Every structure is written in C-alpha cells, then in structure tokens.
A and B are shown apart, each in its own frame.
Chain A
Amino acid sequence: MLDLTYDAPKPKIIAGAKQDWELVIGLEVHAQVATNAKLFSGASTLFGAEPNSNVAFVDAGMPGMLPVINEECVAQAVRTGLGLKADINLYSAFDRKNYFYPDLPPGYQISQLYHPIVGEGEVLVDMAPGIARVVRIERIHLEQDAGKSIHDMDPTMSFVDLNRTGVALMEIVSRPDIRGPEEAAAYVSKLRQIMRYLGTCDGNMQNGNLRADVNVSICQPGAYERYQETQDFSHLGTRCEIKNMNSLRFIQQAIDVEAKRQIAIVEGGGEVVQETRLYDPDKGETRSMRSKEEAHDYRYFPDPDLLPLEIEQSWVDDIASGLPELPDEKRLRFMEEFGLSEYDASVLTADVANAAYFEEVAQAGDGKLAANWVINELFGRLKKDDDKDITDSPVSPGQLRDIIALITKGDISGKIAKDLFEIVYTEGGNPAEIVDARGMRQVTDTGAIEAAVDEIIAANPAQVEKAKANPKLAGWFVGQVMKATGGKANPKAVNEIVAKKLGS
C-alpha cells in the first residue's frame, strides 16, 4: 500500500504597509441535500419549477401544520458525515431559529444548534502533488433553506417564491484551519467533489445548491501556531463573516479584499469589528450587512414539534457499507494499480464520471497509456468541443480501449492513432475496422521496410557518409522512410533497420 505523506502548504502572506500578515479562514458551507422531497414536507425540490408550485401547507407556515422529518435527508447527512470521516451522532435534535422575513413563513427556521447530527471530521485538501492541508470539520447540521424574496419586479411590491423554502441543507462548519484564498477555494472544491462522489449534493453553485459563508481574520506570523497548540482563539484576530458566496472565484477575491481591509484597519491603529459582510464583486469590496443594533437575537430553542432524532448504529453501519470509493482512496488506488503519477491520478479522480471512464479504458491494458489518452486526447478534445461533459463523449470507453489496444499491438503508430481517434470522435465506428478499411495499419513487414531503407540509402550516398560519421543523423533516414511509407511503417522497426544498415 502506498503511504502518501503530505507537506502542509505555506500560509498566504499579505504584506501590509508596516509588516507581513497571515490569514486565518473558516468556512460554513451550505450544501443542498440531494433528495426529491424537502426536509420536513413532501413537496418537491425540483429546480426551476413555476414560482410557489413546490409548496406544502407546512412550508407556507399555515396554521396547525406540523413538520415531519424526511428520512432520506437524514441518511444523506449521515452519508456526508461518513465521507468526511466524521463522528455520527446517534442523538441529535432540532431547534428553532426565530426571525421575521417574508420568505420564512413560520417566522423560524428549523436547524440544529445544540445537537447536530454529525460531529468532528476532516478533509484532506490537496493543493499540489505532495502538498495538502488537513482541514478539520467541526460539525454538520441539517437545516431548512429559506425561500426567495424578489424586490425588483415591481416598483411598489415585493414577491416571494417559496419553492426553496424548507429544502434540506447541510451546513458543514470547518475549523479555522484554512490559510489562504486558494486553500479556501480548494476546500470548497474538495467538499463538492466528495459530496458528488457520495451523491449527497449536486454541488451546483450557480443554482445556489452550494454556498459558503467565509470567516476571515488576520494575524501576525506565529500567532496561528500558538492557536493551534492551545486552541485558544484569543491568539487570532477578530473575524468577519462574508455571507452567501456562490462562486469559487468570488470566494478567493472576497477573502483577499477582506484581509486587506482588515490589515488597513489594524495598521491604521483601529480595531476590526466582528460583523457580517457582503462581497460586491462589481466594486471589489466587502460591505457591512447590518449594524450591531440591528443584529438578530435568534432566540433559539428546541423545536417542540419534533422529537429528538435518534438513529441506530446498525442503520449508520448499513449506510457506511454502501458508501462508494471516495476520491482520496480512488486516487491512491489508481497510483498503485495503474502506476499513475499523483498528478494524473488526481486529474482522473477529480470527477467520479472521469474516473469511471478511465477505469473502463484502462481495463486489462496499459494504465499509463490509458491515462495519457484520457487526459491529453479525450479531455482536450472534449474541451475544444464546447466543453462537453465526459458522459456525452462521442468516443466510448470501449472505443478508446480498442484504439489503445491497436497501438500496443503495434498495428498503428501513436501518430496514426491520433488520426484514428479523430475519425472515431467525429464519425464513430469500430476502430479496428476503420484501420483496415482505410489502410491505416502500420507496416511491420521488415522486408518491405528494408526495401524502403535500401532505396533511400542508395539515393543519398552523401548523407550516408555523414551519418556514418555522426550516428545522430540516422534520424533523417528514419524520417525519409516514414515519409515514403505514408507514416505506416513501424517506427521501432525502421529505427533498428536504419541503424543496422548504416552501421554495417
């Protein structure tokens, strides 16, 4: 078994006017649970439905309506917890977070403040081969999403769409273990990768199915290490929370501008105020969302409509036994089983569909060659083709496997194989049949190659003399032979024969 050890990445340093500063970042990622029904109602979660069409009475906060927990949402949260190597809490409970807003019909959000379903875990955030950050997960809790308020459709009215109201979210809370904007983006990206493998969240950030609140603070070099030793937060600076980020690029930009804002305050002799801020990508700044006077008092208390959620260890075990192979393990296995580099293995396991495609191609063949073909030829071609998804690839794994088999058998050269790939990509068909039908098969008949070599030697006596003096010039003869045979001569055979003839 390969034992991969990683070095921690260096923390990002930002130079202030007076000194260098480091960043400390923690994230609260809100991941929409992939299920058909909402957390406490039977209403559909389908995206893009007519406004207010996916709404049960309880979602609309109608009098006397009661929530009933959706078991599948619990299973998905447990699955996610297991995927993050986290403790699963067999006892958890739901609390009400009270505040008034039109897209929150009952006037409270059902969440899990005091007893979350998932406890401590960790995520390996790989930054480069051999470099990775271990980010600790503090907790994951289940909660309801709010609806959508639309303020710009009418000059005098606001509209409310409750389709999203009550949809299940997992809030994944990290420890402040992230040390730079790139790491933050990589962390979200890794979470998304793991949840996609698990099938617990589609990770679609554009639709808002994955969003992050980013907590940023700055500290002097060395302070973070003291925090790590003691877990005493007083070593760290005051944090600000940037709400509701739904793009990896904006997360990085926002962290950067927020850190610089804080540095300017501190270096100017001021104090950072703990608050909630919004990132404005157009202006490239963060803005305070609400002042301290407007700060909510959410009046959390246990939701009396719901009994504590008690699950059985055996149920958790069942879910655990059904978990798919996760990215880290898959990457390691690809390295071991197919002899891939960490980089190639990472690329191929980034997405579960890519990995599955590769495995089918690599079946009983040369894994490295398969990896090269998938990464360089297929991915490159798909990208050129309007960034097509691998699941829509015109070349099936079987076809690509056949193409590679033709190379390894020596039936075609690598160069011809690229032409063949393009034919299969655009026209389809059985690769071996195409090779035959179009006369693309490589010439491996040494007699024919010898004849071609002899012909070239006879026609270029001056070149022969030079080549005899300098064996490096043999390549010229090889090129001539390949040209004469339309590229179909087996290059290895040509090399050998040219060397033999010139050397004799």
Chain B
Amino acid sequence: MSDLSKLTISAARDGMRRGDFTSTEITQSCLTEIENARFLNAFVHNTPEIALDQANTADTRIAEGDAPDMCGIPLGIKDLFCTKGVPSQAASAILNGFKPEYESTITSQLWTAGAVMLGKLNMDEFAMGSSNETSTYGDVVNPWRRDGSNTQLTPGGSSGGSASAVAADLCLGATGTDTGGSIRQPAAFVGITGMKPTYGRCSRWGIVAFASSLDQAGPMTKSVRDAAILLGAMAGHDPKDSTSAELAVPDFEAALTGDIKGKKIGLPKEYRMDGMPGEIEKLWADGAEMMRDAGAELVDISLPHTKYALPAYYVVAPAEASSNLARYDGVRFGHRAALSQGDGITEMYEKTRAEGFGDEVKRRVMIGTYVLSAGFYDAYYNRARKVRTLIKKDFEDVFAQGIDAILTPATPSAAFGLGEMTDADPVQMYLNDVFTVTVNLAGLPGIAVPAGVDNQGLPLALQLIGRPWEEADLLNHAYALEQAAGFVAKPEKWW
C-alpha cells in the first residue's frame, strides 16, 4: 500500500490490530512522503532511524496484543518540544546545535505509549508568529493553494510545520503548542483538527517556554476522533510541572457519541467583528445551523470584555517571554557570538542575542521588557492581568448560565499568501489571533474544526470553546460538528 501515510490515527490503530499492515510499513510510507515534500519545509530534523526502530518495537507490542492506542502511530513533533539527543531549537538560530539531554514529559509519554517519532517540525521562532515566516529554517508552505493559483500560502503559525505535515499526509498526527492560537489558527488554515486543552491538562515540562501562563500543548490531527486519541496520550498530571493539574485523564474517545441533543451552544455577539469577510460570517451561521439540526439549542451570549483580549494578550505574552528568553545568553548552550578583543560579558550577551534572535522575537522581548519596567508595570502588565481576570469571568458567567460550548469562527480569514503581510503593521498579523487568544487568557479548552471552503477552495474552520477540564464534552461537540459539516476535502498534491 502506498497511501498508508494518509491514514487517520484511528484507522491505523484498528488496521494494525487487525494485521492489515504494520507500523513499519506506515512509518516507511511517511518517511517517503517526507522526503518527497521537502518543498513544504514542514520537517526540519528527520529521525528515520529512531522512527524505524520505534516502529519495529511497536510492531512487536501490537503482535503481542496489548498495545495502547498510540502504539505504532508515526507522528511529527513540533521543534518546541525537547527531544533527547535530537536537535530541539524552537526554530531559532540562538539554539543552533542544541540537543537536549532530556525528553519532554509529553513526548516521553508518547514514546512510552508506542508512538513513532518521524522528526521535528518547523514553526515560528519560539512560537512567535501567525504565518510560520519567522523560523530560522525558513517559511513553511501550506499544501493548499487557491483554485487555479500557484501562489504559495502560509500554513499559519506558530505550529505551521505541524499543520502542513498533517494536511499533506506526511504523518498521521502531530504535536502542537498554543499560546494565543498557535494550534487552532494553523489547523484552520490547512483544514485539519487542532485542539488546545485546558491550561494544565498537558505538562509543559521539556517544552521550550514562550509565555508560561498561556502555553499549552495539544494534538493536531486529521479528525476529531484522532484528536481525542492523541490528547489522551499527551495529557496527564506531571509532578515536574507545578501548573499541571492533578486530575485523571478521561477516555476522550469514548465520549464521542455525536449526541448533542439539548446542549446549549453559545454564540457570542462580540465575535461578530466589523469588516469580517462574508464567507466567515456565513460559515459561522452554517455551523450554528448544523449544531441546531443536531438537536442543540442556540443561545446568543455576550462576552463583554472580548475587545480587550488582544491588547491584554500582547502585554502578558511578551512580558513573560522577555523573562523566559533571558536564558539564551550564549553562556551555556546554543549560539555564542564571536567576540572581539576586549569584549566583556555585556558584549557577549548583546552580540549573541542580536545574532541569534530574529526580528519578531526581538520585538516581543523589547515589548515585554518595556511593559515590566519600573513605572510602566501598573499601567501595562498589572492592567493586563486585571483584564485577563475579567475575560475569564466573562466565560465563567456564560457557563454558569448553562452554556455547554461556545461556537465562533476560528480565524478572521482563510490562509493568506506567504510574504503578503511582510510590509504590514505587525498588529495586522496579531489580528489573526483575535478569536483564539481569549481562550488562552481564560485557560479554557478550544478546538478548531474544518467546516467548509471559501470561494477559492481554501479550508475554513470553526472554533468550539468548552468548559475547563471538560475536553471530553468539547470533543463530542466537535465530533457532532465534524459529522454535520462533512469536510473531507484534501489538498491536491502538487509538491
């Protein structure tokens, strides 16, 4: 079979258990596809030897009949995850040559469950970006193109490599991380499922930190069922991460009944933005209809502080980043600038960081340093924290009214062209996160589900937002939407 890389996780699992094919066969198929898709620039470090070795072990476990769901499933891993002995650079030049001596908790759990690592995936540098154009490895290309156009499009960001790899069937699923929309926006841009779990559901240990109070890893997959399976293997309490929740991980897949009869779906009026493209508006309305047809009740709701979310996010996230990125100083690992005679430690810091960080990272480090500095702390950081509390309360109030899930668009547009935003005000790029950042600020679970295509044939997605720790219920809502939307389009292979 040559199309094994196109399998979903659930189909691969079931097929391997039936003996239709082996993990080694699927893995080889993926490795071939990765080789053939270099143009997409999704994978940046391939690990075929590790992959085939893990696949071989997985095949033995499967043959023995007691393999977990993820056993033998080939995955791509976002470069933000530290993987032992394998380059882990957060797509930054400042981490050139860095190979960690440790394995992130999430990837450890995945390998323990028998999953297979194909390699590391491209991303925006330090997960800062919405178009995967800030990577030291260069842009990732979206496998989708507009009808009749050769223009190369962005896969979104920061998990652009993960999105592109899953959409192009280079792997069965991928890990992503989401600080302000970095899973959901790229998932929307390439027509796959991407979920950000509740903050604290997945361990952050071993994931290069961007904004610690917002960062959360999650699955990027070809179906909602796959998201449920992959999330189940990624989630869980980790004593090494103080912010990880001491909660049992439910069987997410078992929750996928598709039955949402009597559920209340909130439609927040504040998400109806001025200048929103008609197609997005229509998609949202169609999605709401689908939920209603499935037996849910639609409720107009208000999340009054939504308009403050983006500014608050762009204070909190850079503030934390400016501190989290201080460790990249050339002293212990990664890039160190060549020094001139007489240069001291200050010059070493300055030159190393000037050379190692890209423009977007520098911009955010400077913003973060500014908003935390003496005299500005209260005006910016403290105020942003207060806004954050209010945004969280908006959601709490709505859920207290009995709302089960909130339906919104995932992105304000379909994928745009690479380079199209180069000369734009950075704020234009930041607006990509307008529907997603509220979820990070409130620590809630959110999922992007592909629900249609625009008039140029590009995928569009809706977002469902759930109650904290109720990922199972949220996934079931997403499953119902997925079934109703019946999105099955795939990018035509041109690469």
Chain A 289-317, CB-CB to B under 8 Å as 1, else 0, gives 00000000101110011110000000000
| Contact of A48 with B by CB under 8 A | no
| Contact of B206 with A by CB under 8 A | yes
Decide: A57 and B319 in contact? CB cutoff 8 A. no
Chain A neighbourhood of B243, CB < 8 A: 304-307
| Contact of B116 with A by CB under 8 A | no
B373's partner among A102, A297, A304, A305 (CB-CB below 8 A) is A297
B331's partner among A65, A102, A301 (CB-CB below 8 A) is A102
Chain A neighbourhood of B240, CB < 8 A: 66, 68
Chain A neighbourhood of B377, CB < 8 A: 299-301
A299's partner among B81, B207, B372 (CB-CB below 8 A) is B372
Decide: A63 and B88 in contact? CB cutoff 8 A. yes
Which residues in window 145-191 of B have CB below 8 A to A?
A: none
Decide: A108 and B207 in contact? CB cutoff 8 A. no
Chain B neighbourhood of A105, CB < 8 A: 327, 331-332
Chain B neighbourhood of A304, CB < 8 A: 211-213, 243, 320
* Distance A100 CA – B349 CA, assembled complex (angstroms): 9
Stretch at the interface among B96-104, B219-227, B249-257: B96-104
B100's partner among A61, A62, A160 (CB-CB below 8 A) is A62
Interface size on A (CB < 8 Å)?
30
| Contact of B329 with A by CB under 8 A | yes
Decide: A106 and B372 in contact? CB cutoff 8 A. no
Chain B 65-102, CB-CB to A under 8 Å as 1, else 0, gives 00000000000000001100000101000010010111
| Contact of A67 with B by CB under 8 A | yes
Q: How far is the CB of B89 from chain A (nearest CB, A)?
A: 9
Decide: B208 and A63 in contact? CB cutoff 8 A. yes
* Distance A108 CA – B368 CA, assembled complex (angstroms): 14
| Contact of A205 with B by CB under 8 A | no
Which residue on A lies nearest to B82, using beta carbons?
A64
Listed residue (A96, A305, A307) with the most chain B CB atoms within 10 angstroms of its CB: A305
Chain A neighbourhood of B211, CB < 8 A: 304
Chain A neighbourhood of B207, CB < 8 A: 64
Decide: B333 and A64 in contact? CB cutoff 8 A. no
Chain A 95-107, CB-CB to B under 8 Å as 1, else 0, gives 0101011100111
| Contact of B345 with A by CB under 8 A | yes
| Contact of B205 with A by CB under 8 A | yes
Decide: B205 and A65 in contact? CB cutoff 8 A. yes
B372's partner among A65, A102, A301 (CB-CB below 8 A) is A301
Chain A neighbourhood of B277, CB < 8 A: none
| Contact of A69 with B by CB under 8 A | yes
Chain B neighbourhood of A65, CB < 8 A: 102, 205-206
Listed residue (B212, B213, B331, B333) with the most chain A CB atoms within 10 angstroms of its CB: B331
Decide: A305 and B242 in contact? CB cutoff 8 A. yes
Chain B interface bracket (under 10, 10 to 19, 20 to 34, 35 or more): 35 or more
| Contact of B323 with A by CB under 8 A | yes
A64's partner among B206, B326, B332, B369 (CB-CB below 8 A) is B206
Decide: B205 and A64 in contact? CB cutoff 8 A. yes
Decide: B326 and A63 in contact? CB cutoff 8 A. no
Listed residue (B95, B242, B373) with the most chain A CB atoms within 10 angstroms of its CB: B242
Which residues in window 105-146 of B have CB below 8 A to A?
A: none
Chain B 323-337, CB-CB to A under 8 Å as 1, else 0, gives 100110101110000
| Contact of B192 with A by CB under 8 A | no
Q: How far is the CB of A219 from chain B (nearest CB, A)?
A: 28
Which residue on A lies nearest to B369, using beta carbons?
A299
Decide: A160 and B242 in contact? CB cutoff 8 A. no
Decide: B323 and A299 in contact? CB cutoff 8 A. yes
Q: How far is the CB of A302 from chain B (nearest CB, A)?
A: 8
Chain A neighbourhood of B88, CB < 8 A: 63
| Contact of B374 with A by CB under 8 A | yes
| Contact of A158 with B by CB under 8 A | yes
Which residue on B lies nearest to A296, using beta carbons?
B374
Decide: B326 and A68 in contact? CB cutoff 8 A. no
Decide: B239 and A98 in contact? CB cutoff 8 A. no
Decide: A68 and B332 in contact? CB cutoff 8 A. no
Q: How far is the CB of B440 from chain A (nearest CB, A)?
A: 12
| Contact of A278 with B by CB under 8 A | no
Which residue on B lies nearest to A295, using beta carbons?
B374
| Contact of A497 with B by CB under 8 A | no
Decide: A64 and B208 in contact? CB cutoff 8 A. yes
| Contact of A60 with B by CB under 8 A | yes
B242's partner among A64, A96, A307 (CB-CB below 8 A) is A307
Decide: B323 and A108 in contact? CB cutoff 8 A. yes
| Contact of B209 with A by CB under 8 A | yes
Decide: A100 and B326 in contact? CB cutoff 8 A. yes
Chain B 301-345, CB-CB to A under 8 Å as 1, else 0, gives 000000000000000000110110011010111000000000001
Chain B neighbourhood of A301, CB < 8 A: 319-320, 323, 372, 377, 381
Decide: A63 and B205 in contact? CB cutoff 8 A. no
Decide: A306 and B242 in contact? CB cutoff 8 A. yes
Chain B neighbourhood of A60, CB < 8 A: 332
Chain B 206-247, CB-CB to A under 8 Å as 1, else 0, gives 111101110000000000000000000000000111110000
Decide: B327 and A66 in contact? CB cutoff 8 A. no
Chain A neighbourhood of B381, CB < 8 A: 301
Chain A neighbourhood of B212, CB < 8 A: 304-305
| Contact of B364 with A by CB under 8 A | no
* Distance A60 CA – B100 CA, assembled complex (angstroms): 12
Chain A neighbourhood of B201, CB < 8 A: none
* Distance A297 CA – B371 CA, assembled complex (angstroms): 12
Chain A 47-91, CB-CB to B under 8 Å as 1, else 0, gives 000000000010011111111110000000000000000000000
Chain A neighbourhood of B323, CB < 8 A: 96, 98, 107-108, 299, 301
| Contact of B477 with A by CB under 8 A | no
A62-B319 contact, Cβ under 8 Å, with A57-B101, A297-B373: no
Decide: B326 and A108 in contact? CB cutoff 8 A. yes
Which residue on A lies nearest to B102, using beta carbons?
A57
Chain B neighbourhood of A63, CB < 8 A: 82, 88, 90, 95, 98, 100, 208-209, 327, 333
Please list the 9 inter-chain residue pairs (A to B) with the smallest Cβ-Cβ separation, ordered nearest first: A107-B326, A304-B213, A304-B212, A299-B372, A61-B327, A64-B206, A63-B208, A106-B327, A64-B82
Other 17 A-B pairs with CB < 8 A, given A60-B332, A66-B240, A69-B242: A57-B101, A62-B100, A62-B332, A64-B81, A64-B104, A64-B205, A100-B329, A107-B323, A107-B326, A297-B373, A299-B322, A299-B369, A299-B374, A301-B320, A301-B323, A304-B213, A305-B242
List 30 A–B pairs whose Cβ atoms lie within 8 Å, in order of A's numbering.
A57-B101, A62-B102, A63-B88, A63-B95, A63-B208, A63-B209, A63-B327, A63-B333, A64-B100, A64-B205, A64-B206, A65-B205, A66-B204, A66-B240, A98-B323, A98-B372, A101-B345, A102-B345, A105-B332, A107-B329, A108-B323, A108-B326, A160-B331, A299-B372, A301-B319, A301-B377, A301-B381, A305-B209, A305-B243, A307-B243
